[in-house]
Structure formats: C-alpha cells, structure tokens
Chain A
Amino acid sequence: DAGITQSPRHKVTETGTPVTLRCHQTENHRYMYWYRQDPGHGLRLIHYSYGVKDTDKGEVSDGYSVSRSKTEDFLLTLESATSSQTSVYFCAISVGTDNSPLHFGNGTRLTVT
C-alpha cells in the first residue's frame, strides 16, 4: 500500500450530511489523488494535489472539495452527500517522476442512504 492509510474504511451516512474522508501518506510524496470506483466506470479522478494547498479538479469533481494543509494528508469532503456519491473511494500517490505508476490505498466504502 506504499505507506497510504485511508480512513475510515467503511462509512454509512444519510443524504444531506457532510462527510470527510482522509488519506494519509508516510513518505512525503508531492502528488496525491482521489478516485472513485463504480461498476461499469472503472476508476475516475475526482481531485488531485501537487503540493500543500495546491489542488486541481478531475473529471468528476462536482459535489466534492479537497484540502491539503500538510504534505502527508489529503482530505476529500462531500459537503452534502447524495446517493449518487455512494461509491468506493481510493486515494493514490505518485512516487516517481512524470510517467510513473500511481500507488493506491485500500479504499473507503461510502454508502449514502
């Protein structure tokens, strides 16, 4: 898991509530990513970060925000969760130079009821 810890591993929440998922890395890598994984869609990029306080949107960023106040932590927030955000969320880091593989955490399964 390349020193990546995601928390919580499982969460059930109600529609309209705020939810924050945490990704923690132990190796001080600059690039961090949040993906969601849904049947039939593979992994889709939500947001990514290229340094402390430097973030950018991915292809499915609507309804999500992120923050990176420390190198080791990348937070994903659903301000008002919806049922369409029920998914498995994966954090990833890039450990090398450009064109290098991403390394993933073990995911957070989020259910919005």
Chain B
Amino acid sequence: GESVGLHLPTLSVQEGDNSIINCAYSNSASDYFIWYKQESGKGPQFIIDIRSNMDKRQGQRVTVLLNKTVKHLSLQIAATQPGDSAVYFCAEGLTGRRALTFGSGTRLQVQP
C-alpha cells in the first residue's frame, strides 16, 4: 500500500469537519458504483455502494451522491476522525460484467 500514495491528490481536513471526496467516472453505461477505503499495507475495504437508479444513499457517517448527468460521484464523511485517514477509491461496474473499474484515488489526511 505505501506506493499507492505517490501522485495522489490529497484532501486535508480538521478533525470533526465534514469531508467531501469527488470522483469522475468514465463509462456512461455504468450502473453500479462503490467507494472503497484503503489503509497503508492493506487491501481496499468496502464503504458504501449505490445503484444508478438512485442519486443518494446514506450509511453510518457516510453519504454517497451520484450525478449521472455529469458522471460524477462523491463521498461525504461526517465528523471526520483520525481513523478516516486513508486513500479513497471510487469504482464503477456494469450489470453483467462482474469486474469493477477503479479510479486513481484521493488521499484523505485528518489533522487533529
């Protein structure tokens, strides 16, 4: 995981603030979208997903917004905590094609 950090855009936020991580996806036909979190030395961990028939979905402290018109996905994290510091990836999928296509990621740094 350490080499993932090179060349990544970075979002730096204060602890307790809300974070918004953005992603532009590539395939207008994609109908399934996922956000992953990756900590150093570990594999990506599923956070939340959304299907194309929705434009918003909420989880625990996280919300995903989907704008299909401009092919844009965002992840909102409420009350960001130091444990949220990681690299976040969006991924897109298509019904009938099991594999996912991943974005290049954003590093979130939470300042105490």
* Interfacial residues, chain A to chain B (CB-CB below 8 A): 1, 4, 31, 33, 35, 37-45, 48, 50, 58, 88, 90, 92, 94, 98-99, 101-107
Contact = CB atoms under 8 A, between A and B. Distances in A.
Contacts of A102: 46, 91, 100
Contacts of B95: 98-99
Given A94-B98, A98-B95, A41 B104 contact: yes
Given A40-B104, A43-B44, 13 more contacts: A33-B99, A35-B102, A39-B5, A39-B6, A42-B104, A42-B105, A43-B102, A58-B99, A103-B46, A104-B43, A104-B45, A106-B41, A107-B42
Interface of B: 1, 3-8, 31-32, 34, 41-46, 49, 51, 89, 91, 93, 95-96, 98-105
B7 A40 contact: yes
Contacts, number: 68
A47 to B, nearest CB: 10
B43 A107 contact: yes
A104 B99 contact: no
A101 B98 contact: no
Secondary structure at chain B's binding surface: helix, strand, loop or mixed? mixed
B46 A101 contact: yes
Contacts of A94: 98
Nearest to B31: A99
B31 to A, nearest CB: 7
B24 to A, nearest CB: 13
Contacts of A48: 98-99
A106 to B, nearest CB: 5
Nearest to B34: A101
A99 B43 contact: no
B39 to A, nearest CB: 10
27 contacts: A33-B99, A35-B102, A37-B4, A39-B6, A39-B7, A42-B102, A43-B44, A43-B102, A44-B102, A45-B99, A45-B101, A48-B98, A58-B99, A90-B44, A98-B96, A99-B51, A99-B93, A101-B46, A102-B91, A102-B100, A103-B46, A104-B43, A104-B45, A106-B42, A107-B41, A107-B42, A107-B43
